[in-house]
Structure 1
Amino acid sequence: MTSAETGSTVVVVTWRGAAHVEACLEALAAQTRPHRTLVIDNASDDGTAALLKAHPSKPQIIRLKRNTGYAGAMAVALEHTTTPAIAWLNDDAAPEPTWLAELEDTLDEQPLAAAVTSRLELADGTTQSTGVRLTADGHGADLTEPVDEVFGFCGGAALLRTDAVRAVGGVPASFFCYYEDTDTAWRLRLAGWHVVSAPKARVRHLHGASTRPGSPLFHRWNERNRLLMLLRCAPAAVAVRELVRFAVITALLPLRRNKPGAANFHVGLRARVLAEVVMRLPATLRARRRTGEITTLGRGAIWDAWAGL
């Protein structure tokens, strides 16, 4: 299948990306495959809008009235995508010229795959991600060695079948940031799709240019969305176990003499995470029921096949 028949929209989500989004757009302009570039600007206030408008590659731009996070912006992008494939790309990522061609070719060669993930490399050349694995406690963790099939894709640089994503409920916009990719991978797998890796699709990534990994806000989103993802997608026993474990650790933290210093072990942050999960529980359970309606493989079967590998 040729790229013209396949067709891809590359979506770049940006927020205050003036320092790095131009490098991303220049790398896209150098791609060996034709494509549509769609930039979702999350109400940047640092001059990003002017840079995008003036860029010679002339990307299509949708400027949102407020910052909806990566998840919210990708949900908007999906509504405006008419091509068979949609690529997710961080604004601080610069793909090599053959990146999109490698992803498209891999997807063409893998008719059972709904998503193909890239090889993300940090500025020093070390590998950040070749895909996402599912840990024994339900976290999504980056793989750093090349493998053919992975549990999930890294949302920083991946290509997905547009109709497949729509059929499983789209992108969880309410997540704001983090785990929207692993949640989507969960639902694709439950619907019977595979997720594969394309190690030759290389991307240089300025990890954390837009958000600060390790910050309290990072941990709040990360912990909350992991629990919400499990409640939406995982076997009920696993989801309840992890929610109870999180609550028990939170309750016992004040009694510990030597508390971990990481922000995700601050009692106040964990209490807020629990409160947000509880407030979202009705909507989360409705989403779980909807996911059950499109499921062709059992949640337990997916968990047994991938958790802890």
Structure 2
Amino acid sequence: MVDNAADVDTRRILAEHPSAPDVLRLERNTGYAGGIAAALDDVDTEFVAWLNDDAVPSPSWLADLEAAAGPATAAVTSRLLRPDGTVQSTGVELTADGHGRDLAEPAATSPGATPAPFTPSPAPFGFCGGAALVRTRALRDVGGVPAEFFCYYEDTDTSWRLRLAGWDVAAAATDVHHRHGASTRPGSAAFHRWNERNRLLMLLRCAPAGVALRELARFTVLTAVLPLRTLAARRRPGVRPGPAVPDAANFDPRLRLRVLADVTRRTPWTRRTRRDITRRSTVGRGSLWRHWTGG
């Protein structure tokens, strides 16, 4: 059990729990990514399961995932269902602008109904870290889990590195009920900051250099343009001012400047880890990008 700088009550529960878990206590909260990274050295099983604390699997979940893992499979993803029974994710796809996006099949149920049987679609680019099984040796061989990410995009980054190393990712016919974002509140400033920052860090580590620099430049230019759009909207004579930009935290120039500062501070780390990823790769970044994005 990784104690991610938990409070006193949580530590008491751990101390009194009848399973008497071994506790690895961290001095600060390192997030989902940091917690998995901290525990990885102590894992001695063939696979390591990733499961969010707001996700509830079926009793056969692990067996279903293991059954779907062939000898060349490094990770198996589950089908994640929202509380109303609609599908949140059947894996992760790679978009043309470098986002990792949940693959979601059309909902086959009405709210509250029993989900339809799940037939896995063709292998996704990556696994969703909310509920997945990852081969321990493969994970270690590609550099482990990026603890720097704290949370979000650690699964897509790991999928990138596994595929660059020649491993496959599969989907299993098993359902997990998930209260997405129960602890991070999707739409919050922290949520968007982690997502925007980690997407850029992932691209700088894993994607073809031209793609990574293009997306970093786009992010930077839009950050500079947003205040000008707002100013122009306020100065238009005779026009009632309206929202110049979408009302979302990831369009706040201050948040975006913080993201750029975070990325800049991590430049030595991204350069060093990119070289390490290249050394471990057996598949070219460009060929992988073209195959999964068509770009």
Structures share fold, TM-score greater than 0.5: yes
The 1:129–1:278 alpha-carbon spacing in structure 2 relative to 1, beyond 3 Å, is same
Q: Secondary structure at the match of 1:47?
A: helix
Once the two structures are overlaid, the 10-residue window that deviates more, 269-278 or 229-238, is 269-278
Of 130, 134, 137 in structure 2, the residue corresponding to residue 156 of structure 1 is: 130
Q: 1:131, 1:52 → 2: CA distance? A: 32
Whether the 8 Å CA contact 1:140–1:182 is kept in 2: the answer is yes
Deviation at 1:48, TM superposition (A): 2.6
Q: 1:252, 1:87 → 2: CA distance? A: 43
Deviation at 1:55, TM superposition (A): 4.0
- Note if 1:266 corresponds to 2:248: no
Q: Percent identity, aligned pairs only?
A: 64
Q: Partner amino acid for 2:82?
A: L
- In the alignment, what sits opposite 1:276? 262
- In the alignment, what sits opposite 1:247? 220
Q: 1:77, 1:248 → 2: CA distance? A: 39
Of 150, 154, 178 in structure 1, the residue corresponding to residue 152 of structure 2 is: 178
Whether the 8 Å CA contact 1:134–1:308 is kept in 2: the answer is no
Deviation at 1:60, TM superposition (A): 4.1
Q: What RMSD, in angstroms, separates the aligned Cα atoms of the two structures?
A: 1.5
- In the alignment, what sits opposite 2:44? 82
Deviation at 1:92, TM superposition (A): 1.4
The 1:60–1:147 alpha-carbon spacing in structure 2 relative to 1, beyond 3 Å, is farther
Q: 2:4, 2:185 → 1: CA distance? A: 17
- Note if 1:211 corresponds to 2:196: no
Q: 1:44, 1:284 → 2: CA distance? A: 29
- Note if 1:143 corresponds to 2:129: no
Unaligned runs of 5+ in 1: 1-38
- Note if 1:196 corresponds to 2:158: no
Aligned residue-pair number: 268
- Note if 1:307 corresponds to 2:293: yes
Q: Secondary structure at the match of 1:270?
A: helix
Q: 1:150, 1:197 → 2: CA distance? A: 7
- In the alignment, what sits opposite 2:67? 105
Q: 1:230, 1:61 → 2: CA distance? A: 34
After superposition, the C-alpha distances for 1:221-249 in whole angstroms (9 at most, x for unaligned) are: 11011001000000000000000000000
Q: 1:60, 1:89 → 2: CA distance? A: 18
Whether the 8 Å CA contact 1:42–1:66 is kept in 2: the answer is yes
Whether the 8 Å CA contact 1:136–1:307 is kept in 2: the answer is yes
Larger radius of gyration: 2
Q: Secondary structure at the match of 1:158?
A: strand
Deviation at 1:307, TM superposition (A): 1.9
Q: Secondary structure at the match of 2:68?
A: helix
Q: 2:22, 2:124 → 1: CA distance? A: 32
The 1:51–1:308 alpha-carbon spacing in structure 2 relative to 1, beyond 3 Å, is farther
Of 31, 39, 49 in structure 2, the residue corresponding to residue 69 of structure 1 is: 31
Deviation at 1:91, TM superposition (A): 1.2
Deviation at 1:46, TM superposition (A): 6.7
TM-score by structure 1 length? Answer: 0.83
- In the alignment, what sits opposite 1:12? none
Once the two structures are overlaid, the 10-residue window that deviates more, 272-281 or 222-231, is 272-281
